[in-house]
Structure 1
Amino acid sequence: MTDHVTGGPGLPQERRLVTAVPGPESTALQARKIAAVAPGVGTTLPVYTVAAGGGVIVDVDGNSLIDLGSGIAVTSVGNSAPRVVEAVTAQVESFTHTCFMITPYDGYVRVAEALNRLTPGTHEKRTALFNSGAEAVENAVKIARAATLRQGVAVFDHAYHGRTNLTMAMTAKNMPYKHGFGPFASEVYRAPLSYPFRDGGLSGEEAARRAIDVLDKQVGAGNLAAVVIEPIQGEGGFIAPADGFLPALAEWCRASGIVFVADEVQTGFARTGDLFACDHEGVVPDLIVTAKGIAGGLPLAAVTGRAEIMDAPHVGGLGGTYGGNPLACAAALAVIETIEADGLVDRARAIGKTMLDRLHAFGDDRIGDVRGRGAMMAVELVKPGTTEPDPELTRTVATAAHAEGVVVLTCGTYGNVLRFLPPLAIPDHLLTEAFDVLQQVFEEH
């Protein structure tokens, strides 16, 4: 009934429920999905989209839902940002693909130049482009191994780095990411993270010493090619380590000849109220991995880092058929222009303040922790008066919010975290309405 609807600035920015969620047309499409698509590909909310933009997603039944997910932090500038639409349309009319490794084009070079300019640090940098966050993480490890001639990779409790074999080994959570898919890549070691809600008051520096002690004793600094960490964890539960944790790790890596890799796949491109989450404490990684918000919904990822490290792999050792696809590069350049021209770093901070104020005002003793930065906020739900995770309540609240037309996501090792990732293009009235709905859901459940 809504086939005529298109995204973009003309899309009404309103929550509108004309059927149950999901409605009959989405339900019919879900039946077709079940018959045609491998069941391993899950769906959080089976409403089928016909238009999206600003802060809403419109489904085939005519429902308009408030989007607090951004496709898992992908559509930070919006699902149909005008500059992105214009840039991709122009590129489609020129050519869709040649393969940069065969006959290159300037879009790839321009994206690399922009990332070299924007990422933390003023040192000389190089960039390589890929398709997905997992692919970029894996290439960051390849680059670090080539540069150090070491093999070990250190990661952290609650980490999520992807679904390839190596990145599954680097990911902490078994279900649904790892179960039944082994054996996994070797030479991956795990250290304890700074987790302020569950660390008993441990400072960032103390938590870093704990992690370094584990790695020194169990692996040996001289055997580590890379330490890979999300500056704020994503799937692991939006865990922001205590101040001082990341700088201490980075300093230890520098002193030990270990490549410090920041996985900013979910935190990058203004999401946290800084252009990159590392900027919060002035941490300068040796390599930084970006994806998700980089290209407004088109598949693109990057590894950017110190020239002497990025130059280590031999010619032909990095690449891929679609890496740095011209459409995705055009989108990325438009995303960067949009972030800078529209002041989206400041907008993310404003969104974060609104969400933080509203979540604290809920006054619900089942909310054990409110955390995050910028437009990357979460609540960890627990049994009242304890720190015992309550994944059942988390599922109940998410399902009830979905039924009321608000898209929220869950995450966390214990399945007890609600995460909020609104597009930076969301108008204030929708953000307010979404949290009115969430407050009502908490009161009713």
Structure 2
Amino acid sequence: MTTLDQSRHLATAIPGPLSIELTKRRTDAVSHGVGVTMPVFAKRAGGGIIEDVDGNRLIDLGSGIAVTTIGNSSPRVVDAVRAQVADFTHTCFMVTPYEGYVAVCEHLNRLTPGSGEKRSALFNSGAEAVENAIKIARAYTGKQAVVAFDHAYHGRTNLTMGLTAKSMPYKSGFGPFAPEIYRAPLSYPYRDGLVNKDLGSNGELAAERAIDVIDKQIGAGNLAALLIEPIQGEGGFIVPAPGFLATLLAWCRDHNVVFIADEVQTGFARTGAMFACEHEGIEPDLMCIAKGIADGMPLSAVTGRAEIIDAPHASGLGGTYGGNPVACAAALATIETIELDGLVERAAQIEALMKDRLSRLQADDDRIGDVRGRGAMIAVELVKSGTSEPDPELTKKLVSGAHAAGVVVLTCGTYGNVLRFLPPLTISDELLLEGLDVLALILADL
């Protein structure tokens, strides 16, 4: 366990003098195109705490955007990385391969849904995994078109910007984007239910709406892949209505369309299952994995059905740093930690605790339109009192107040009105509840 004191503590105002000085240096040295959520600079982190350079200890409800799922600098990861760095840092797997890469692929083939023969390939980032999954789908089907969904987020490269739905800040001014990308309506139970109660609760009905758009705009004969987050991340932690994913998968199987699950944010125990697809009982053709896979080391993967993932020609997949040995060592230690420490079950405990606290808050405050999510991936959608109109201003003020009080919390959603909670699974109940209590007090003051 980390030696970092697991308590919130404000030694200075936020930001403190050292963070202010570093912010001046950042302004002079770093591209202004790189945004920053909090005006503090981290010095140490572990468990549920981030300590900044001024000695402030902040409750971490963000996990570096769902990356440090098992807690920052987790002991097994630290040991594995140190040992690997001492042996070698890089040879390039495509030049002289090494066992760590193979071992990570073996684990991914074992852990991901589906009992058939599977294979994996390793890359560096979530966006890279998505791009390669689409390359694989096009090679396998001989078709070009790709469907993504409303509110989707898939990355910041040219192709993945095209797949991402939200213009600001991800796409605006950066086009033209890759062609043959289309968009279909998502199942968004809270918003759909405001218009049509059946549509909000019936995933099959929502899927038929999407399929109708796909048939009209593209046609299955032209469609290589359907790409979807089983629970949307940046789009607002939207959990589709039951049956939505299964109906889409069945349609894909009937029409030779590769079903790609983007589990970059939802994977690796985050949702109370190793992968979010397991909640719906579906087995994707390909799965994109990153973020929580290696406790902060840059690593991503595409895992899927062998006949599909083997479709590209030899050397058609790869990359200089893909499956770096240090990152692979971290991933193996991360998997070991999740399995030995029961962190899938811990995510389910966090869900119960958070939903209980937030639902009680919702009952007393009609500005909380919706509480949703799975595991340690929970969201609160904020609306104007007495309406269902999104309230991004309230959201901004609430987050700003939380940051000043020493609680790291993130926002998301197409309308900028969703608080997203991604605590590390190693956070204590006490810290987690304290963070939520701080938010409740600030919300009451607003």
TM-score interval (norm. to shorter): over 0.9
- Matched residue, 2:287: 288
Distance 2:310 2:183 in 1: 28
Of stretches 430-439 and 143-152 in structure 1, the one that deviates more from structure 2 is 430-439
Within-5 A mapping of 1:113-132: 113-132=106-125
Distance 2:2 2:251 in 1: 48
- Matched residue, 2:325: 326
Distance 1:288 1:46 in 2: 35
Question: Residue type of the partner of 1:388?
Answer: E
Distance 1:104 1:30 in 2: 41
Deviations along 1:270-310, one digit per CA (max 9) or x if unpaired, are: 00001100000111000000000000000000000000001
- Matched residue, 2:425: 424
Question: Residue type of the partner of 2:112?
Answer: T
Distance 2:365 2:117 in 1: 49
Q: Displacement of 1:377 after TM fit?
A: 0.2
Deviations along 1:166-186, one digit per CA (max 9) or x if unpaired, are: 000000000000000000000
* Alignment equivalent of 1:100, drawn from 77, 93, 102: 93
Distance 2:81 2:212 in 1: 49
- Matched residue, 1:199: 192
- Matched residue, 2:273: 274
Distance 1:346 1:408 in 2: 23
* Alignment equivalent of 2:126, drawn from 130, 133, 154: 133
Within-5 A mapping of 1:183-262: 183-200=176-193, 201=197, 202=199, 203-262=202-261
Distance 1:231 1:281 in 2: 9
- Matched residue, 1:5: none
Q: Displacement of 1:417 after TM fit?
A: 0.3
Deviations along 1:327-377, one digit per CA (max 9) or x if unpaired, are: 000000000000000000100000111111111111211010000001000
Residue 139 of structure 1: SS of its match in structure 2?
Answer: helix
Distance 1:45 1:305 in 2: 37
Q: Displacement of 1:222 after TM fit?
A: 1.0
Question: Residue type of the partner of 1:282?
Answer: G
Q: Which runs of 5+ in 2 are unaligned?
A: none
Distance 2:101 2:179 in 1: 33
Q: Displacement of 1:428 after TM fit?
A: 1.2
Runs of 4+ aligned structure 1 residues displaced above 6 Å come to none
Distance 1:430 1:131 in 2: 32
1:172 aligns with 2:165: yes
Deviations along 1:144-191, one digit per CA (max 9) or x if unpaired, are: 000000000000000000000000000000000000000000000000
Distance 1:29 1:380 in 2: 33
Q: Which runs of 5+ in 1 are unaligned?
A: 1-7
Deviations along 1:396-437, one digit per CA (max 9) or x if unpaired, are: 000000000000000000000000000001011101111111
Distance 2:352 2:223 in 1: 39
Residue 158 of structure 1: SS of its match in structure 2?
Answer: coil
**TM-score, reference length from structure 1:** 0.98
Distance 1:403 1:274 in 2: 33
Residue 320 of structure 1: SS of its match in structure 2?
Answer: coil
Q: CA RMSD in A?
A: 0.6
Q: Displacement of 1:395 after TM fit?
A: 0.3
Identity %: 71
Distance 2:326 2:269 in 1: 22
Residue 381 of structure 2: SS of its match in structure 1?
Answer: strand
- Matched residue, 1:339: 338
- Matched residue, 1:70: 63
- Matched residue, 1:304: 303
